[in-house]
């Protein structure tokens, strides 16, 4: 029975990617998009504050990303922790309800989107035709909860047990909330990756997960730990169905995908930030030379795909426009691929195919 559950879990991503034509579009920056709509997130709970202060805005932002073409939407639970809610004066029960609510709101947005966009569309067999949409329940790191800019350098007092104790209950709740997968995001170090992998096994979590690491130099993860060692931890966990990088400047992604490829054959998920730098002290994003506009962002996608990534989205300070641009580029890529296949007298070699398909 248990084997059966894990089996289903492990094929979720490959089945999904197959349905999407090999590549899928993830959503964009969630918290920063809430802020663009006027939410005041200078708070230890960050985007999770909106789960009780403005759930309608959370739903709207999910919907905007769906309309922009995202096929995976990530919940507002990144910084939603029981410990954080309790510190705000909520009871544990209320905190757990809010965690569940983060997934419910995303599922509601998906229902509204399906309702609006699939009326009257049927496939050749008469079934309703919808692009598949997955809801990924976000789990941010212990450092996100601390919100102290520690970048995964937690010090010796924070052990594997500390991290497992911190994450266990939230993971249990989100895994039973109706989400399709767990997105462990912005993972800063090896110890936290290990804690997640052990929790997934110990708790027999029956939905799959992705591990997405954070890097600030394009070589190591943000704490300085080796990306290869981090990816290997994800690779050896059968419940992990994709591994990648998020909230990292776009200019570092190509090299990181090449490194990840060396340590896993699982699908690679990439959702970089806008290239601006977050100043944890000032709690502000500051412009830097590597900032890219939506068109530039899209021009990178071909390279990332060529390097081996198959799920693309955006993180902080990217918007539904970024996702729309990625999604159009993906549709264009697929159309070109089809045309190429139909017109080629013989199977093109990989190099010809990829150079002709560069966006
Ligand atoms: C600091 S990375 C934040 C990731 C989260 N999914 C968000 O967009 O809010
Ligand atoms: Zn981010």
Q: Are 14 and 264 in contact (CB under 8 A)?
A: no
Query: Length of the chain, please?
Result: 359
Q: Is 3 exposed, middle or buried (0-12, 13-18, 19+ CB in 10 A)?
A: exposed
- Fold annotation for 2-333: TIM Barrel (3.20.20)
Q: Ligand 2 mean position to 186 CA, how many Å?
A: 7
pLDDT: is 346 or 252 the higher one?
252
Q: What is the mean pLDDT of residues 336-344?
A: 82
Q: In terms of DSSP bridges, do strands 277-279 and 284-286 run parallel, antiparallel, or are they unpaired?
A: antiparallel
Kindly tell me if the per-residue pLDDT of 268 is higher than 70.
Answer: yes
pLDDT in tens, 128-148: 678 899 999 999 999 999 988
Closest CA relative to residue 132, chosen from 145, 141, 123, 144: 123
Per-residue burial over 255-279, b = 16 or more CB atoms within 10 Å of its CB, e = otherwise: ebbebbeebbebbbbbbbbbbbebe
d(CA 12, CA 127): 21
Q: Is 247 annotated as a binding residue?
A: yes
Q: What's the whole-number average pLDDT of the chain?
A: 90
pLDDT band at 217 (very low <50, low <70, confident <90, very high): very high
d(CA 146, CA 169): 17
Q: Which residues surround ligand 2, an ion (CB under 5 A)?
A: 247, 315-316
Q: By alpha-carbon position, which residue is closest to atom 7 of ligand 1?
A: 30
The whole-number pLDDT of residue 333 equals 81
Q: Ligand 2 mean position to 19 CA, how many Å?
A: 27
Whether ligand 1 lies within 6 angstroms of the CB of 74 is answered as yes
Q: Global pTM?
A: 0.91
Helix residue ranges, H only, 26-147: 31-36, 50-53, 55-68, 82-87, 92-117, 142-146
pLDDT: is 270 or 348 the higher one?
270
Closest CA relative to residue 210, chosen from 147, 135, 159, 150: 135
Structure tokens at 252: 């570092």
pLDDT band at 194 (very low <50, low <70, confident <90, very high): very high
Percent share of the chain, pLDDT over 70? 89
Domain boundaries, the chain: 2-333
The whole-number pLDDT of residue 87 equals 96
Other beta carbons less than 10 A from residue 78's beta carbon: 24
Q: Ligand 2 mean position to 188 CA, how many Å?
A: 12
């Amino acid at each position: 029975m248990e084997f059966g559950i894990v089996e289903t879990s492990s094929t979720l991503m490959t089945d999904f990617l197959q349905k999407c034509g090999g590549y899928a579009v993830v959503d964009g920056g969630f918290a920063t998009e809430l802020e663009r709509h006027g939410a005041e997130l200078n708070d230890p709970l960050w985007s999770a504050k909106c789960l009780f202060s403005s759930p309608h805005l959370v739903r709207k932002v999910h919907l905007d990303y769906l309309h922009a073409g995202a096929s995976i939407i990530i919940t507002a639970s990144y910084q939603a922790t029981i410990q954080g809610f309790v510190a705000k004066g909520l009871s544990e029960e209320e905190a757990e309800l809010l965690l569940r609510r983060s997934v419910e709101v995303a599922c509601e947005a998906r229902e509204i989107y399906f309702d609006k966009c699939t009326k009257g569309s049927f496939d050749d067999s008469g079934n309703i035709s919808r692009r598949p949409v997955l809801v990924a329940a976000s789990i941010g790191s212990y450092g996100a909860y601390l919100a102290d800019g520690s970048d995964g350098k937690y010090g010796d007092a924070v052990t594997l047990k500390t991290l497992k104790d911190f994450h266990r209950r939230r993971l249990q709740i989100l895994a039973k909330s109706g989400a399709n997968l767990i997105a462990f995001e912005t993972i800063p170090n090896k110890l936290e990756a290990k804690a997640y992998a052990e929790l997934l096994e110990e708790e027999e979590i029956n939905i799959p997960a992705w591990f997405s690491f954070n890097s600030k130099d394009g070589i190591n993860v943000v704490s300085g730990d080796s990306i290869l060692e981090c990816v290997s931890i994800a690779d050896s966990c059968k419940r992990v169905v994709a591994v990648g990088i998020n909230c990292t400047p776009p200019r570092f992604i190509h090299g990181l995908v090449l490194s990840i490829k060396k340590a896993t054959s699982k699908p690679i998920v990439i959702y970089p930030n806008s290239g601006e730098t977050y100043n944890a002290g000032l709690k502000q994003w500051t412009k830097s030379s590597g900032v890219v506009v939506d068109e530039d962002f899209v021009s990178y996608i071909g390279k990332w795909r060529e390097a081996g990534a198959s799920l693309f989205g955006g993180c902080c300070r990217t918007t539904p426009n970024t996702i729309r641009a990625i999604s159009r580029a993906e549709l264009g890529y697929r159309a070109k691929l089809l045309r190429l296949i139909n017109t080629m007298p013989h199977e093109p070699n990989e190099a010809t195919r990829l150079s002709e398909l560069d966006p």
